[in-house]
């Protein structure tokens, strides 16, 4: 795949196979880079080879990347495998060096996206240069920050922009390194219909156990591709060793993925019937919610007239317990029920608070 074909690919993603990007978290040696690239190229249909040259680390003393000489190794990957090459840039100096060594694609990492000053500096260095730029989501679940980075790069005239969903740093411990929060990239897609979005299952997973699961879900959600960290010997990797696949494991994963049919070729009549059922059910749910809030309004006025506090702990605990038990019996997910109840309770408190403090 060439830059021109990538441009064509981005314009016609809905009719294409998923874009596959693979390569190590970090470039560590020329031998490691070339061996990994050759294995990936021979075993898979990977389009783009990725490798980190500069690594932003939380604390000093950790491996912070091989630096400029790693860009020479990426040039050799292009020459010897025909794959395009991509690396992360975090400041104008990185951009200039990447262009000097004919890097095909730049990506901007989550830490950099979180800083509008850094994004603007990178954007300024890209003026009058039409190179593909892939933009990861910020560390925290802030859609506006992600959109802001995309807009800053777009304003430079860059025409080939791709968003990368790599998950968000979790406050609580989860089985994943970064929680997916799929609703955020879905909302990004709703706002920018023509923006390609690919998934980075390696950073979401944090280890190789969940990469298959996350990759399949991303494709099922109609993401346009995957960026998967791959190393010829992950056990000795200098960074993120637990989340990197071997080229052989990457081959197995890609073969196991199910590519769903596009809605264009399925039976539209059957799908439309199901959607009409959903529309009808949604309307009924909204009508019931409206009636529920009418009752909440009456409760608020009663509490105001009788000097009763808004929040009643025993009543709330009873609602959580009884509704959750009922929902589980109906086959609903326990967490899903609790989240809905909490949203309704939050809105109920807001309505009663307005009534109680209207003066």
What tens digit of pLDDT does each residue of 289-305 get?
A: 999 999 999 999 999 99
Range with lowest mean pLDDT among 111-115, 143-147, 211-215, 258-262: 258-262
| pTM for the whole structure | 0.79
Q: Note whether 140 and 183 are same-domain residues.
A: yes
Boundary of a domain, candidates 232, 263, 294: 263
Note whether 1 and 21 are within 8 A (CB).
Answer: no
Q: Considering only CA atoms, which of 98, 141, 136, 99 is closest in space to residue 118? A: 136
Residue 13 has pLDDT above 80, yes or no: no
Residue 8 is predicted with a pLDDT of 60
**Which tokens sit at 76?**
């050799």
Amino acid 14: pLDDT: 45
Could you tell me which residue, 174 or 78, shows the higher pLDDT?
78
User: Is 60 exceeded by the pLDDT of residue 11?
Assistant: no
**Which pLDDT score, from 0 to 100, does residue 16 have?**
59
Q: Which of these ranges, 2-16, 93-107, 233-247, has the smallest mean pLDDT? A: 2-16
Give the CATH number for residue 86: 3.20.20.70
Query: What is the average per-residue pLDDT within 328-341?
Result: 94
State percent of the chain over pLDDT 70: 93
Q: What angle do CA 2, 165, 113 make, to 5 degrees?
A: 90
Any bridge partners for residue 164, and if so which? Answer: 136, 198
Return the closest-CA partner of residue 79 out of 41, 134, 112, 109: 41
Domain identity same for 218 and 285: no
Do 156 and 96 reside in the same domain of the chain?
yes
Give yes or no for residue 261 having a pLDDT over 70: no
Q: Yes or no: say if 65 and 102 are a contact pair by the CB < 8 Å rule.
A: no
Of 230, 245, 263, which one is at a domain's C-terminal end?
263
- pLDDT tens digits along 132-152: 999 999 999 999 999 999 999
Q: Which of 216, 232, 263 is at the close of a domain?
A: 263
Domain interval for residue 352: 267-356
Q: How confident is the model at residue 9 (pLDDT cuts 50, 70, 90)?
A: low
Same domain, yes or no, for 178 and 309?
Answer: no
Please say if the pLDDT value at position 161 is more than 80.
yes
Domain count, the chain: 2
Helices and strands in the chain, H and E counts = 14, 8
In which region does residue 144 sit, left (phi positive, over 0), alpha (psi from -120 to 50) or beta (all else)? alpha
What's the whole-number mean pLDDT along residues 230-236? 97
**168/289 same-domain check:** no
């Amino acid at each position: 795949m060439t830059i021109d074909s990538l441009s064509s690919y981005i314009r016609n993603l809905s009719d294409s196979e998923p874009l596959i990007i693979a390569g190590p978290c970090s470039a560590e040696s020329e031998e490691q880079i070339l061996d990994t690239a050759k294995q990936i190229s021979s075993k898979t249909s990977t389009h783009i080879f990725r490798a980190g040259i500069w690594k932003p680390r939380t604390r000093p003393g950790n491996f912070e990347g091989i630096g400029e000489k790693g860009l020479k190794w990426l040039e050799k990957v292009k020459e010897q495998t025909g794959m395009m090459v991509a690396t992360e840039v975090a400041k104008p100096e990185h951009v200039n060096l990447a262009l000097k060594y004919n890097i095909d694609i730049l990506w901007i990492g989550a830490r950099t996206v979180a800083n509008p000053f850094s994004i603007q500096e990178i954007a300024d260095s890209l003026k009058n240069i039409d190179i593909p730029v892939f933009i990861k989501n910020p560390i925290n679940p802030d859609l506006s920050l992600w959109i802001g980075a995309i807009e800053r790069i777009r304003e430079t005239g860059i025409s080939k922009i791709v968003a990368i969903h790599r998950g968000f740093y979790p406050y609580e411990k989860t089985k994943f390194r970064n929680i997916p929060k799929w609703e955020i990239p879905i909302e990004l897609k709703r706002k920018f219909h023509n923006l390609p979005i690919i998934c980075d299952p390696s950073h979401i997973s944090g280890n190789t156990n969940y990469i298959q699961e996350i990759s399949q879900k991303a494709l099922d959600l109609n993401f346009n591709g995957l960026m998967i960290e791959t190393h010829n010997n992950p056990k000795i990797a200098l960074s993120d060793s637990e989340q990197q696949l071997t080229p052989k494991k990457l081959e197995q994963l890609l073969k196991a993925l199910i590519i769903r049919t596009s809605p264009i070729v399925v039976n539209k009549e059957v799908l439309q019937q199901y959607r009409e059922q959903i529309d009808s059910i949604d309307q009924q749910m909204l009508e019931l919610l409206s009636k529920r809030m009418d009752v909440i309004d009456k409760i608020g006025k009663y509490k105001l007239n009788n000097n009763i506090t808004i929040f009643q702990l025993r009543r709330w605990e009873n609602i959580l317990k009884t509704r959750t038990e009922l929902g589980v019996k109906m086959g609903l997910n326990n967490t899903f029920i609790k989240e809905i109840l909490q949203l309704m309770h939050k809105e109920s408190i807001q309505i009663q608070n307005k009534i109680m403090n209207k003066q």
